Chain A
Amino acid sequence: MYAQMVKSEATNDDPEKLAAFQARIDAGEKIEPKDWMPEGYRKTLVRQIGQHAHSEIVGQLPEGNWITRAPTLERKAILLAKVQDEAGHGLYLYCAAETLGVSRDDLTEALLSGKMKYSSIFNYPTLTWADMGAVGWLVDGAAIMNQVPLQRTSFGPYARAMVRICKEESFHQRQGYDIMMKMAFGTPAQKAMAQDALNRFWYPSLMMFGPSDKDSVHSAQSMAWRIKMNTNDELRQKFVDQTVPQAEYLGLTIPDPAVVWNAEKGGYDYSEPDWTEFFEVIKGNGPCNAERIAARQKAWDDGAWVRDGLMAHARKRAGAQVAAE
């Protein structure tokens, strides 16, 4: 997901306070920034929300790659609006993390230094226009699967950010599928590009949910805290079940012969993605890791004089106002 393999932090707090805190969560109460919370809860959330925010920001890049090549004025506008929304979502999430006592600059530095991660999916290249369809359809589709339940997460600012994000994101997956329809029902070359995009994005999309975590203590703790709402396997199965018929409608083939309906479990069987590849991508060895971080680093470095210049002007104005009073 946008926040993959977030390790929960151990907590060394007073057991009585911990029990009371857990009772609030079990009762469905929202935890707000000034409320008492276990240190582990705070740290885990900073890591998870930060990773989620970083994913939105780095996630601008693979789609931004096609804004200047969008084939019509309308497609250009839609894609730009969508990538702009991702910047907005990153912003909302950074603000949610900031209520926990970290600054956006700290989080940015942690992203650029590699101390914090972002979703593995954004380290894959977007090679044809059909990839804009596949990213919207599959990547946003997978993200929504996770984000909809997170609207009910226990931490108030995170839940509220997710409500806003889900509301805005409702058009993202649809625009992706709309592109896929145009491609899949278009010329033979377009259809071939659509199939190629599905071939390349299928397994990386399955990886977005992270490796199976049904035995993970971290996931169990996060689920008890209601900052993780479902297991990775649950969400992945849901995603496969939703996507297979959509691919059939497009006349495209899921690049996995093992995808067959299993009446007994009431879902599709499917092959596991290559988890070795996943761990390599997470480690920084994906096809685009270096480019993605380099692009963010450049934006950060090149923008320093702008941020500082505007701050300098604001200080001058504030100074002039004080002098005039």
Chain B
Amino acid sequence: MSQEWPLWEIFIRGQHGLNHRHVGSLHAPDAGMAIKHARDVYTRRNEGVSIWVVPSAAITASSPSDKGPLFEPANSKVYRHPTFFDIPEDVGKM
């Protein structure tokens, strides 16, 4: 009885200490092998220092139809962005 290996989502943190970033997916029989495959598939050009693997089936995504209600409220909070405030140049860098 053949069963296809499950799909995993791969997240890699690059050299510079930034957040783990989604880089793609691959198939593996379990998490341990998914890590090894991720190392071989997604860090061939020295791209990473840390790997996360997550079963694709375990990801809950926001629904596209929620796009408006989920993200629009943030649009109006322009004061959250530093460019909202005018600081005189004489004050120096801030």
Contacts and interface: CB of A to CB of B under 8 A. Distances in A.
Interface of A: 32, 34-36, 84-85, 88, 91-92, 95, 98, 103-105, 160-161, 164, 168, 304, 307-308, 310-311, 313-314, 317-318
Given A34-B64, A36-B64, A317-B30, A307 B2 contact: yes
B4 A104 contact: yes
B26 A91 contact: yes
Interface in B24-72: 24-27, 29-30, 33, 41, 44-45, 61, 63-64
Interface of B: 1-5, 7, 23-27, 29-30, 33, 41, 44-45, 61, 63-64
B64 A307 contact: no
Given A103-B4, A105-B4, A95 B45 contact: no
Contact of B33 (A36, A304, A310): A310
Nearest to B27: A104
Contacts, number: 47
A98 B27 CA distance: 11
Contacts of B61: 34
Chain B at the A interface: SS class? loop
Contacts of B3: 308, 311
A264 B25 CA distance: 49
19 contacts: A34-B64, A36-B64, A84-B44, A85-B44, A88-B41, A88-B44, A91-B26, A92-B24, A95-B25, A103-B4, A104-B27, A105-B2, A164-B23, A308-B2, A310-B5, A311-B3, A311-B29, A314-B30, A314-B33
A311 B3 CA distance: 8
B44 A98 contact: no
Question: Counting chain A CB atoms within 10 Å of each CB, which of B7, B29, B41 scores highest?
Answer: B29
A88 B33 CA distance: 17
Contact of B63 (A34, A103, A168): A34
Contacts of A84: 44
Nearest to A33: B61
B29 A310 contact: yes
Contacts of A310: 5, 29, 33
Contacts of A91: 26, 41
Nearest to A318: B30
Contacts of B44: 84-85, 88
A148 B30 CA distance: 35
Nearest to B23: A164
Nearest to A35: B64
A307 B30 CA distance: 12
Nearest to B30: A314
Nearest to B29: A314
B5 A311 contact: yes
Contacts of B64: 32, 34-36
Given A35-B64, A311-B29, 11 more contacts: A91-B26, A92-B24, A95-B7, A95-B24, A104-B4, A164-B24, A307-B5, A313-B29, A314-B29, A314-B30, A318-B30
A262 B9 CA distance: 51
A36 B65 CA distance: 9
Given A32-B64, A34-B63, A36-B64, A95 B5 contact: no
Contacts of A307: 2, 5
A180 B17 CA distance: 41
A307 B26 CA distance: 14
